[in-house]
Structure 1
Amino acid sequence: MRPRHVALAVALAAVWGFNFVVMQVGLRHFPPLLYAALRFGLAAFPALLFVGRPGVAWRWVLGVAGAIGIGQFGLLLVGMKLGMPAGLASLVLQASAVFTVVFAVLLLGERLTTRRVVGLGIAFVGIFLVAVDFGLSAPLLPFLLCVGAAAAWGLGNVIQRRATPPDSLRFMVWVSALSAPPLLLLSVLVEGVPTISFELEGWLSLGYVAFISTLGGFGVWGWLLKRYDASTVAPYSLLVPVFGLTSAALFAGESVSAVDVAAGILVVSGVLYAGTRARTTPPARELASLKV
């Protein structure tokens, strides 16, 4: 990846890392499925009135809405509501990088290079260290829900890569629009008649996750997926727990140990190694690999 695109991917990881603390705040005011429905509803309207059609077949929009909108965020928020801490949730969700690479190889026929395998291995040593340091103290069900959310995100990455929407922001608006109604229906069926909170803290949380994390974040993510292989972009999601753990320590009072710091260094090193090409790569070959 080009240096400015690497910087963009790292900045996006910071936005998504802080997102876990923000969601934890929002879940104090809303049930999880209702919170997800409101998140995507706000991301879709009124933007839906101005963006035009998604520019890809509707099956791709529905696929990403099902995988990311309903699958990833529905499972993640329910898991967090059931007791998954923000820092640990940000960590477990990054298993999506592995699921993305596996799905990309199986469904898209992308090549799995030795460099990417080594880089992902280094990064996941870091994630394993953090998991051991936390002691996996969260209940089993919330943990499994977050693993399911990671798998759904990985599948959504590959579907979006296959769709190659011409405008990532417009595509995400439509994904949000198609995610909100089924999430609202699930909320009514599972959580009962919605009770809307009018406290400012809850709505500020929704504003961040709807406009900054969802529209802005997934717009940038889709833009990167359009230009690079999914297995090149996906490892940058491994930086999210570094920012997630830091945010949880600063704003939620979660402790960060020396093991966490060492693990963060491993994650960053592994991601950078997996996502960059060897110096010996000829410039012409590098240019030819870009999906413009």
Structure 2
Amino acid sequence: MPRTRIALLTTLAMFAFAGNSLLCRLALKGAGVDAATFTLVRVVSAALTLWLMLRARGSPRGIGGNWYSALALFAYASGFSFAYVGLPAGTGALLLFGSVQATMIGHGLWTGEHLRVRQWAGLLLALSGLIGLVLRGISAPPLQPSLLMLGAGVAWGIYSLRGRRSCDPTTTTAGNFLRAVPFAAAVSLLTLAHLSLERSGIVYAMLSGALTSGVGYVIWYAALRGLKAATAATVQLSVPVIAAMGGIVLLGEPLTLRLLGSSAAILGGIALVVAKKQTVK
């Protein structure tokens, strides 16, 4: 796959991921929907959208994916929603993709991928930005939602790694979302006491499922085929910065020095990891 195409697909996927954070915060912050319902509507909307895409292109009736990937997808989506009850958009995205990075790069190193000294420096710089965000202090995020988001990041890292083997991103993603529906429905049943439904919140959940999840994940699966695990992990740390800026503009969330410093460290680390080595002539 041409590098330009990989870069374009990756950029589109990063904006879709940031959109998920913003839509989730919009729904949970003031749109009157509970986290379990948001997760269920998001998963169902994504499955339906992808099924319609497959029908439109005349694909066979069979679906791809598997139950292991579906479980990882559900664990991510559920942890993501419940964590965002208590986290700002940018902070949640930083925790999520910091955990994703650790999971995917750790797997890459375990399976034989090698990082140059410059890339190690970038990785450490990016991780220092994440650590700086969650250290104890006035603006440090609450512990329980933070742990939920870190767990969601591990699940998303596993899901992304499994997705690198996909030959048909749309069919695979559709199958995984369809299999995730019963898990999301079970959580909704277990949390009926906290049921909260508002039209605007449902709309945000549907948009998150249909566009920034369903279509966004297909784009990401396509990009993954041209990315190494370490690179795929690191570029995702651009999402928190996009989400943080969106949260400030759209949700009125505060711009803190802690967030600015963490974002600068993370973006600088990404640049060191993904930049190609220049040849001196």
Cα distance in 2 for partners of 1:117, 1:261 equals: 22
Partner of residue 274, structure 2: 275
Partner of 2:241: 242
Query: How far 1:99 sits from its partner (Å)?
Result: 1.1
Once the 2 structures are TM-superposed, how far is the Cα of residue 4 of structure 1 from its aligned partner?
4.7
Distance in structure 2 (CA, Å) of the matches to 1:221 and 1:135: 36
Tell which deviates more after alignment, 131-140 or 217-226.
131-140
1:88 partnered with 2:91: yes
Matched residue, 1:215: 214
What letter is aligned with 1:255? P
Task: Sort the Cα spacing of 1:29 and 1:7 in 2 relative to 1 into closer, same or farther, 3 A.
Answer: same
Say if 2:103 is the partner of 1:104: no
Q: In the alignment, what sits opposite 1:63?
A: 68
* Aligned position for 1:226: 225
Deviation at 1:118, TM superposition (A): 2.0
Q: Deviations over 1:101-143 (max 9, x none)?
A: 112333x443344343222222223333444597454332111
Q: Which moved more, 1:262-271 or 1:96-105?
A: 262-271
User: Is 1:233–1:275's contact at 8 Å kept on the other side of the alignment?
Assistant: no
Shift of 1:20: 1.4
Identify the residue that residue 24 of structure 2 maps to in structure 1: 23
Q: TM (normalized to structure 2)?
A: 0.85
Asked if structure 1 preserves the Cα contact closer than 8 Å seen for 2:45 and 2:209, the reply is yes
1:1-292 paired onto structure 2 within 5 Å: 2-27=3-28, 28-45=31-48, 47-48=50-51, 50=55, 51-52=59-60, 53-55=62-64, 61-68=66-73, 70-81=74-85, 83-95=86-98, 96-106=100-110, 108-132=111-135, 135=138, 137-161=140-164, 164-189=165-190, 191-192=191-192, 195=195, 197=197, 199=199, 201-280=200-279
Question: Residues of 1 paired with 2:5 and 2:51: CA distance?
Answer: 30
What is the CA deviation profile of residues 19-70 of structure 1, one whole-angstrom value per residue up to 9, with x for unaligned ones?
A: 2121012234332122212111111126426244345xx5xx22221112x1
3-state SS of paired residue (2:255): coil
Aligned mates of 1:133, 1:245 — CA distance in 2: 20
Q: Could you tell me which amino acid in structure 1 is paired with residue 125 of structure 2?
A: I
Contact 1:187 1:194 in 2 (8 A): no
How far did residue 5 of structure 1 move?
A: 2.7
Q: Structure 1 residues 134, 157: closer, same or farther in 2, change over 3 A?
A: farther
Question: Within 2, Cα distance between the matches of 1:147 and 1:222?
Answer: 22
Task: Supply the distance in 1 between the matched residues of 2:119 and 2:68 (Cα, whole angstroms).
Answer: 27
**Structure 2 CA distance for aligned equivalents of residues 267 and 7 of structure 1:** 21
Cα contact 1:103–1:154 (8 A) shared by 2: no
Residues 38, 180 of structure 1: 8 Å contact kept? no
Q: Per the alignment, do residues 10 and 47 of structure 1 end up closer, same or farther by CA in structure 2, a change over 3 Å counting?
A: closer
- Partners of 2:223 and 2:159 in 1: CA distance: 14
**Secondary structure, aligned partner of 1:255:** coil
**Shift in alpha-carbon separation, 1:195–1:147, aligned structure 2, 3 A:** closer
Paired with 2:196 and 2:146, the residues of 1 have a C-alpha distance of: 28
Contact 1:14 1:240 in 2 (8 A): yes
SS in 2 for 1:227: coil
Please give the alpha-carbon distance, in whole angstroms, between the structure 2 residues aligned to 1:143 and 1:260: 15
SS state of the match for residue 138, structure 1?
A: coil
Unpaired runs of at least 5, structure 2: none
Q: d(CA) in 2 for partners of 1:194 and 1:261?
A: 35
RMSD after superposition:
2.6
CA–CA distance in 2 between the matches of 1:236 and 1:34? 30
* Structure 1: 5+ residue stretches without partners: 282-292
Letter paired with 1:182: F
Residue 181 of structure 1 and its aligned partner are, at CA, apart by 1.2
State the one-letter code of the partner of 2:13.
L
**CA apart distance, 1:194:** 8.6
